[in-house]
Amino acid sequence: MTDTSNSYSLRSTSASSYTSEEDSSFFINNKQIRFVKKISESKFPVYLVQDTKTGLMQAIKLFPWNEEDNEPSSFYKKEVRFAQISHPNVTAITGYKNEQGIDGDEEVGRVSYILMDYAKNGDLFDAILTTRVPFNEELIRTYFQQIILGLEAIHAHGAAHLDLKLENFLLDENYNVKITDFDLSFMAAEEKEVSTKGTINYRAPEIIDDCCKNAQAADIYSAGIMLFLMKTGGRLPFKERDLYNGINMKELLELNPKMFWKKQCEFLGKEESFFSQDFKRLFSSMVQRCPENRATLEEVKTSEWINKETYSEEELFSYMCGRFDFL
């Protein structure tokens, strides 16, 4: 493996060791896979790997073994459940293993791993924060439609993601969005309570207050935050713990919506027409404090704003291609 600062070498539990030429390779279903590089510094390392025979590039996510209970990590068990979901806007899990021997820098241990499709063009967070990719209204709407379709597929399986944020939406080779990172997910059929705390500034009020009864409604709230970030080039609508210039923007939206949007335009240096009325209605409906008053997925899908102009697949590829390179 190329990342020597924190390197691993997976090894077959039936083999004593690799030869010197195989130090960065392992086998899945009798296919030899080699490590190429680390591609994520998140809480669980993700590496780019390649099938040595076909050249196919994929991503592998490693989870530490729960030594205390002698079983896979709870985060791995949450994520592997999504192997059953097949949708164009959900990252496909192509392989996994509960227990795998691993050679670290100083010791030999165990991990669990998940093998996934490789999204070569980075994530929405990177795309939005680069000035080389202007997010116009058609592009925002195109991606938001894909986000909602992927979320709909997850919810149809009785699941909720519960950590929706721009970093967890990857762009594949055609620049289409794929939801990833399900290690904080919730499935009503398997769990009685929502235990995750999500990500600050994206999470719904009931997640913060540890009283979430409708995990899928919490996803809607987080998707609303993402919508606002895409529209504003990365500016949060309100902060969870801080004020904007001494103003509680979340409270302002509830008590005086007209002033909320006026202030947002002032902060952004935009004309008041920057936010259309149908955008305002959609966003406000998705971030209602009370989950029962929040828009449903169906209401989001049928909203006026989301059903206006979008890019075709060909137009999306043409617009995005060549503007950035995250390889």
pLDDT in tens, 57-92: 999 999 988 888 888 889 999 999 999 999 999 999
For the chain, how are helix, strand and coil distributed in percent, rounded to 5? 35, 20, 45
> In this predicted structure, what is the pLDDT of residue 30?
63
Judge contact between 100 and 110, C-beta under 8 A: yes
The pLDDT of residue 7 is above 50? no
Helices 215-232 and 277-286 cross at an angle (nearest 10°) of 150
> In this predicted structure, what is the pLDDT of residue 71?
87
Which CATH architecture best describes the domain 124-320? Orthogonal Bundle (1.10)
> In this predicted structure, what is the pLDDT of residue 145?
98
Report the percentage of the chain scoring pLDDT > 70.
Answer: 86
Given its phi and psi angles, is residue 267 left (phi above 0), alpha (psi -120 to 50 degrees) or beta?
A: alpha
> In this predicted structure, what is the pLDDT of residue 221?
98
Beta-bridge mates of residue 160: 186
Tokens of 89: 């806007």
- Catalytic position from the list 103, 163, 183, 219: 163
pLDDT band at 26 (very low <50, low <70, confident <90, very high): low
Judge contact between 26 and 11, C-beta under 8 A: yes
CA angle at 116 for the pair 112 and 119, rounded to the nearest 5°: 140
CA–CA distances in Å: residue 22 to residues 10, 41, 48, 49, 199 = 10, 24, 16, 13, 39
Q: In whole angstroms, give the CA distance from residue 29 to residue 58.
A: 15
Which of 115-129, 240-254, 260-274 comes out lowest in average pLDDT? 240-254
Domain extent listing, the chain: 4-117, 124-320
> In this predicted structure, what is the pLDDT of residue 226?
98
Judge contact between 177 and 146, C-beta under 8 A: yes
> In this predicted structure, what is the pLDDT of residue 109?
73
pTM of the model: 0.88
Beta-bridge mates of residue 171: 177
Q: Tens digit of pLDDT for each residue in 300-311? A: 999 999 999 999
Q: Tens digit of pLDDT for each residue in 210-223? A: 999 999 999 999 99
> In this predicted structure, what is the pLDDT of residue 106?
46
The pLDDT of residue 224 is above 90? yes
Integer-rounded Cα Rg, in Å, for the chain is 21
Tokens of 22: 């195989």
The pLDDT of residue 108 is above 90? no
Q: Tens digit of pLDDT for each residue in 138-163? A: 999 999 999 999 999 999 999 999 99
Report the percentage of the chain scoring pLDDT > 90.
Answer: 64
The pLDDT of residue 12 is above 50? no
Q: In whole angstroms, give the CA distance from residue 243 to residue 327.
A: 37
> In this predicted structure, what is the pLDDT of residue 34?
85
Read off the DSSP letter of residue 69.
T
**Mean pLDDT throughout 233-238?**
93
**Mean pLDDT throughout 83-112?**
80
CB neighbourhood size of 204 (10 A): 26
> In this predicted structure, what is the pLDDT of residue 325?
53
Domain 4-117: homologous superfamily in CATH: Phosphorylase Kinase; domain 1 (3.30.200.20)
> In this predicted structure, what is the pLDDT of residue 243?
80
Q: Tens digit of pLDDT for each residue in 33-61? A: 888 888 887 788 899 999 888 899 999 99
The pLDDT of residue 132 is above 80? no
Q: Is 163 a catalytic residue?
A: yes
Q: Would you give the end-to-end CA distance of the chain in angstroms?
A: 17
Judge contact between 133 and 121, C-beta under 8 A: no
Read off the DSSP letter of residue 296.
P
CA–CA distances in Å: residue 139 to residues 54, 116, 264 = 34, 26, 21
The pLDDT of residue 6 is above 60? no
Q: Tens digit of pLDDT for each residue in 161-176? A: 999 999 999 999 999 9
pLDDT band at 100 (very low <50, low <70, confident <90, very high): confident
Judge contact between 279 and 303, C-beta under 8 A: no
> In this predicted structure, what is the pLDDT of residue 131?
63
pLDDT band at 99 (very low <50, low <70, confident <90, very high): confident
> In this predicted structure, what is the pLDDT of residue 264?
96
Q: In whole angstroms, give the CA distance from residue 128 to residue 100.
A: 37
> In this predicted structure, what is the pLDDT of residue 87?
97
